[in-house]
Structure 1
Amino acid sequence: MTTTGTNQMHPITEDDIANYLANSPDFFARHAQLLASVQLTSPHGNRAVSLQERQAEMLREKIKALEHRIMEMVRHGNENMVISERIQRWARNLLLVQSSRALPATLVTELQAQFMVPRVALKVWDVDERYAQEPFAQGVSEDAKTFASSLTQPYCGVNSGIEAAGWLDEPATVLSLALIPLRPGPLAGTAKAFGMLVLGSPDPQRYQAGMGTDFLEHIAELAAAALSRLRPR
């Protein structure tokens, strides 16, 4: 008679052994001699090493990986501190401007100086009539205003001939752009934009689609708050 079904014997698999060892933590305590006799292949060559040596190598690799992560965290922390200090200096210099008429030019030059941006332009519209004839309040089409209002976060990408790129000096030399809408309140709000800040670079990789925009969003909200002095009361 042949046995079938649940009575049929199945070979033990590697998974069965692994599960048994995982659920039997005292196995090697009962068979300590196995630990000394187990030989593994070293990842640094074909030579055989003991289990203890292989574990030591694995620990060294983990420690090395952790050291790299810590170094990266320190580097990013230092970079963030430098950026925070530059934002603080930029904001402080904006607060020190007494003439509202001089504010846009100061905002632009300080951005270039503090953050080493090769090209910066700023346009503001719907301003108080006292500033309507200023260069920063002219030369903006209705399409550009609508485009600015449609942005709920900075646009970063290649210079594809967008109107706002023409506000920059030597726009033909600019290969990547950041277009930053300025609106009352939070950048992602629903209020209409009353201006747009344009950052340009000859480096095609400086402003890339998909890059993080937290820094640019902070710049946008600070700039919008400062430039609110130009709007009708």
Structure 2
Amino acid sequence: MTPPISPITEDDIAQFLIHTPGFFERHAEVLASVQIASPHGHRAVSLQERQAEMLREKIKGLEQRIMDMVRHSNENVAIAQKVHQWTGELLCVGEPADLPEAVVQGIQRLFDVPQAALRLWDVAPAFAAAPYAQGASEDSRAFATSLTMPFCGPNLGFEPAGWLVAPDGVAAQSLALLPLREGAMDSATPAFGLLVLGSPDPQRFDATMGTEFLTRMAELASAALLRLR
């Protein structure tokens, strides 16, 4: 008795076409007559037309990616220019005692940061009574030292958030915490200060944002503020 023949499946057809690349060359009329549903309506289109639609969609996606890359590039150039201007302003500060205010006000003005504050410790005796040298607990100092990169995220009730002054009475919903230390941001040198940036916008300092510019700003501020030690 002849065993029953299994019906041909779609997978069988697909595998045949994959392993028989010359099929459509020998049967071009089949390729031309294939009709499939268009994603842009209920009408049927030829395989060539569907391939053209897919290619247009792919090109559109690539164009969008290029536009995003250009936009991010322009934003980075603008930020770099502001960092350069801020650095120049810090270099022009003559009195070391004026540096903390220059750091904070420059960031607020140039980078449109609504709230900013800093605290320093282990400063020279001549600056020990200044407001910026007061109010940092041992926990805050240890926390600053533990940071090897800027912290960005929601305001979870960190003590340094209490250093911020909200001119409109709205507490910061997102924070950036920048440790100040001699040398590179990720070194093992204990921090001698902490720079706090805050915004009422919960997304301004998002946990997923890049921190390259914030790292450079922390290192520049640290280099300037070393004059107070």
TM-score normalised to structure 2 length: 0.90
Look up the equivalent residue of 1:86 and give its one-letter code.
K
CA-CA distance at 1:15 after TM superposition: 2.8
* The 10-residue stretch of structure 1 (194-203 or 129-138) with the greater mean CA deviation from structure 2: 129-138
Q: 1:189 to 1:16 in 2, by over 3 A?
A: farther
Deviations 1:31-65 (A, max 9, x none): 11111111111111111111111111111111111
2:227 is the alignment partner of 1:229: yes
Deviations 1:58-91 (A, max 9, x none): 1111111111111111111111111111111111
Provide runs of 4+ in structure 1 moved above 6 Å.
Answer: none
Match of 1:13 among 9, 13, 16: 9
2:24 is the alignment partner of 1:46: no
* The 10-residue stretch of structure 1 (137-146 or 192-201) with the greater mean CA deviation from structure 2: 137-146
Match of 2:188 among 176, 190, 194: 190
2:170 and 2:200 in contact (8 A); partners too: no
2:175 and 2:199 in contact (8 A); partners too: yes
Match of 2:174 among 161, 170, 176: 176
Deviations 1:155-208 (A, max 9, x none): 223333322122111376322221111112222222111000011112222223
What's the C-alpha RMSD, in Å, of the aligned pairs? 2.0
Supply the distance in 1 between the matched residues of 2:71 and 2:173 (Cα, whole angstroms): 28
Structure 2 unmatched ranges of 5 or more: none
Q: 1:2 to 1:31 in 2, by over 3 A?
A: closer
1:91-106 matches, within 5 Å, as: 91-106=87-102
Match of 1:209 among 203, 207, 215: 207
2:31 is the alignment partner of 1:35: yes
Aligned to 1:144: 140
Supply the distance in 2 between the matched residues of 1:53 and 1:2 (Cα, whole angstroms): 45
TM-score normalised to structure 1 length: 0.89
Match of 2:70 among 45, 69, 74: 74
Match of 1:131 among 115, 127, 131: 127
2:122 and 2:192 in contact (8 A); partners too: yes
Supply the distance in 2 between the matched residues of 1:60 and 1:210 (Cα, whole angstroms): 32
Aligned length: 227
Supply the distance in 2 between the matched residues of 1:16 and 1:230 (Cα, whole angstroms): 78
CA-CA distance at 1:10 after TM superposition: 4.9
Supply the distance in 2 between the matched residues of 1:144 and 1:190 (Cα, whole angstroms): 17
Structure 1 unmatched ranges of 5 or more: none
Supply the distance in 2 between the matched residues of 1:2 and 1:43 (Cα, whole angstroms): 45
2:149 and 2:215 in contact (8 A); partners too: yes
